[in-house]
Structure 1
Amino acid sequence: MDALTLLLQRQSVGQLSSPAPQGEVLQRILQAGLRAPDHGALHPWLFLIAEGEGRARLGNMLAEVATERNESAESVLKARQAPLRAPMVITVVAKAVAHPKVPLFEQQLSAGCAVMAMQMAAQAQGFGGIWRSGPLMFERSLHRALQLAEQDQIVGFLYLGTPSVDLRREPYADLAAHVRSL
């Protein structure tokens, strides 16, 4: 699949099963993330891979944070089970640093670009993925549980695996509604 076709057919897949990417396939996915735009060559990323029991550990961390937030029992259970929806979850963290020319926000955008690049690399190699977020990714107690620094920010959870549903191609958005000339 050529690069333009890949981009034009980008699609999130929320129903994923085993196998997850492994070996050289996973290495290429991670390398694609490291090629994200990176003003100042700061490499403001950290990829935390959870598979196997690591997904349950991540789920327990999310449930603990949901409990701390006084969320409902249903929400706590949903948080605990969330990482089990795919055989692999990569927590993508912006490891932003103070820099005179590269604002923190730009470094966080760079980490977001890494998520997209990894999802595209997975799709190019026959796997599926979905970029998930939510309020728990902003909770400092989760950051502490993941041993992140104070300035670090989770930008998303990339769920990866083999699509377990037939993909339905969504129609393109109306360009006229999103584009205008100056």
Structure 2
Amino acid sequence: MDVRTAILTRRSAKRFLPDPIRRDSIERMLEAAVRAPNHWLTEPWHFYVVMGTGRERVAELRARQMRESGQTDPDRISRHTVEIRTIPALIFVSARRGKSEQETHENRLATAAAIMNMLLVAHEEGLGAIWRTGQFIHYEPLREFLGVPADAEIIGQIYVGLPAEVRDTPRTPWQEKTSWITE
């Protein structure tokens, strides 16, 4: 699959089959991630791949975080935790903070580019993936469980597995989002 086709056909998968996925597919995603552009070659990213029984601990932390943030609907909490327990792989991605606000900003952007590379390779591998953010990635007990150092922040979590369904997402044509400055 060429790059343009991968970009134009990739979609975020929101539902996954519980089937295991190959470790070498994740390794190829990570190999592509570290090739993302990064100013000053800071290589600010770190990847925390959670599979197997590690997902149970993440699910417990998610339930706790939801309850602590005021979520009282047990069905909603259950939906989130069942999802985490059944997704074959969760990849948390952190970015190291820089020596200045500018470097921190650039490190976040570089890490976002690394995540996009991962999503494209997942698509090439026939896997579904979705990049999630939200309050959970800032939850201190999650950071402690993963071993995220104090000088880093989690940029997102990527759910990876065989897609149960993938829906097309309408996008505004690029022409409506582009200005050409010629003079």
TM-score range, shorter chain: 0.7 to 0.9
Q: Percent identity?
A: 26
Alignment of 1:26-105 (within 5 A): 26-74=26-74, 76-98=77-99, 103-105=103-105
C-alpha distance in structure 1 between counterparts of 2:72 and 2:168, whole Å: 35
Deviation at 1:76, TM superposition (A): 4.2
C-alpha distance in structure 2 between counterparts of 1:3 and 1:103, whole Å: 29
RMSD: 2.2
- In the alignment, structure 1 segments of 5+ residues that lack a partner are none
Q: TM-score, normalised by structure 1?
A: 0.86
Aligned-partner SS, 1:14:
strand
C-alpha distance in structure 2 between counterparts of 1:170 and 1:67, whole Å: 31
C-alpha distance in structure 1 between counterparts of 2:22 and 2:56, whole Å: 19
Contact 2:16 / 2:163 at 8 angstroms: preserved in 1?
A: yes
Cα distance per residue 1:27-64 (max 9 Å; x no partner): 11111111111111111111111112111111112222
C-alpha distance in structure 1 between counterparts of 2:162 and 2:116, whole Å: 17
Deviation at 1:137, TM superposition (A): 1.4
What is the number of equivalent residue pairs in this alignment?
180
Residue 120 of structure 2: aligned partner: 120
- In the alignment, structure 2 segments of 5+ residues that lack a partner are none
Deviation at 1:145, TM superposition (A): 3.4
Deviation at 1:88, TM superposition (A): 0.8
Q: TM-score, normalised by structure 2?
A: 0.85
Mean CA deviation greater in 73-82 or 17-26: 73-82
**Structure 1 21/41 Cα, relative in aligned 2: closer, same or farther at 3 Å?**
farther
Cα distance per residue 1:124-168 (max 9 Å; x no partner): 111111111111212334323332222321111100111112x44
